[in-house]
Amino acid sequence: MRAASALVDTALDRSVVLGFTRLGLGVRSHLPGWPADPAPQALLGRHVAVTGASSGLGAATALGLARLGAQLHLVVRNPEKARPVVARIVTEVPTAVVEVHRCDVGDLDDVRRFAASFESPLDVLVHNAGVMPPSRTESQQGHELAMAVHVLGPVLMSELLRPRERVVLVTSGGMYAQRLRADDPEYLTGRYSPTTAYARSKRAQVELLSILDRRWEASVWATHPGWADTPGVADSLPGFRRLTRPLLRDAEGGADTTVWLSAVDPAPPGGSLWHDRRRRPPHFSPTTRSRPGDVARMWRWVCEQIGIEETSPDKGGAER
């Protein structure tokens, strides 16, 4: 039965449409071998931060973590937008402890300010904040915005906060269509496409996982949520949403694996991509595999932009 379940799971994954939609999660969650939910109160006493937690996947992730007893830190650009999220959490989980912190993840100076002001010992950090501007946009430091929000800001924040247990980067299945562009990380050549820029930055997240997992004391994973019906999708991909809305997952379904990885015990090995509680291959096609030296080149660029040492020592030996 387990072998047959694995075949069905893989077939769903490779089909994309079936695997990424609510159908994939619905079928997989009823297959033999579906990983068990984390234990009740699995995160009791742990401090967990979620970026981009004012709506969509971030809000659903925060609620899921609160149900498991986490002491939550919602990291958002606009604290006012986080108020309904906090209200929903404390209504459903009256014992929840929730703090809201202002930070623009794409602004490296703001990330440094936030990290310097953060006083709690952090156990788990979920990087969920995301952007897809319609035209090429630059951050406060002059970086292409998708790369700043999805790669530079998260790496710097994790480097400064050093979570003690886990780091989860919420990526996108769109990265399967792109290879790592270490030759043009700022998207300075060619005609700019918002979906391509988004996917390139998400590809960079996945390609750097093994380096980040070795560098930090925490286990590091990326999760892709599949296709979920969120405000971000509605704003950035309205045509896609119109065509696929009957099949889209809700935000809670999209956040399921992020919440699961944040709390499951024992934690699986880090440095890998996950979807629907299973480790997934980082490539569907050989054409997206990185060229020799490209991952090291991209890591060198990231280190230069955020001002950290390039070395990637074993866990426990990272520069603080």
- Annotated active-site positions, please? 198
- Take residue 108 and report the two structure tokens written for it: 């490296």
**What ranges make up the beta strands (E) of 229-299?**
272-275, 278-280
Enter the tokens of residue 161: 């906060």
**Separation between Cα atoms, residue 175 and residue 153, nearest integer Å:** 19
CA–CA distance, 63 with 88 (Å, rounded to integer): 8
Of 13, 79, 72, the C-alpha closest to 45 is: 72
Q: Spell 106-136 as b/e; 16+ CB within 10 A means b.
A: bbbebbbebbeebeeebbbbbbbbbbbbeeb
Q: Is residue 159 within a helix (H) or strand (E), and if so which, with residue range?
A: helix 153-161
The answer to whether the beta carbons of residues 35 and 261 sit under 8 Å apart is no
Contact 49, 167 (CB under 8 A): no
Contact 12, 28 (CB under 8 A): yes
